[in-house]
Amino acid sequence: MDNKHAQSIPADVLAQVNAKLSDIITLIKPYMVTLTPEERHSILKKGDKSDSFVSKTFEFTKTNPEFIPAFMNVADFEIDLNDSNNLVGSVSLATQICNTLDDTMMVAGSEAYYAALYYYSNVQQSAAVNIPGAKAIQEELKKRFVVKSAKLVTADAQK
């Protein structure tokens, strides 16, 4: 069994990470906006292709203010433009953190699940040949074992 996650993360390291992440949340929270899934889906999104359009338009509001609509607040436009640009680095770092935390959690969980499957399989084989104690363990684990698909479990166990 190839074990990619063979070193436990010390509890004090996780506590420090969680404390720093909480500090980050506390620091940035007053400036953040939370969207519903529907809002995320329907909102107009500025991306690489529209970035130059938005930036150039902002420049024109400074050089040609006569075309600014009466309902438009240029100060708000500037805040939005600056924050959308300035948050790129923070989002990139946070994404890296999220991805590596999620990958590590996924690998550790997968390896733990494989270990449990190996043990359970061995208990089943031991129960089949009446090794003392195996049947009770098998019955207890059987209550908690969820089979997705016989093909999937067999294929995964062979990895």
pLDDT for 145: 87
Provide mean pLDDT across the span 15-22: 97
- Look up residue 53 and give its two tokens: 């359009």
pLDDT for 104: 97
Overall pTM surpassing 0.85 (yes/no): no
Q: Whole-angstrom Cα distance, residue 60 to residue 68? A: 9
CB atoms within 10 A of CB 156: 14
Per-residue pLDDT of 52-62, as tens digits, reads: 999 999 999 99
CB atoms within 10 A of CB 123: 21
Helix ranges (H only) for the chain are: 11-28, 37-42, 48-63, 74-128, 134-144, 150-157
Provide mean pLDDT across the span 88-96: 97
The answer to whether the CB of 137 falls within 8 A of the CB of 123 is yes
Only one residue has tokens 């996924």, namely 106
With a cut of 60, say whether residue 155 has pLDDT above it. no
pLDDT for 159: 53
Per-residue pLDDT of 28-74, as tens digits, reads: 999 999 999 999 999 999 999 999 999 999 999 999 999 999 999 99
Provide mean pLDDT across the span 114-141: 96
Lowest mean pLDDT among 70-79, 102-111, 150-159: 150-159
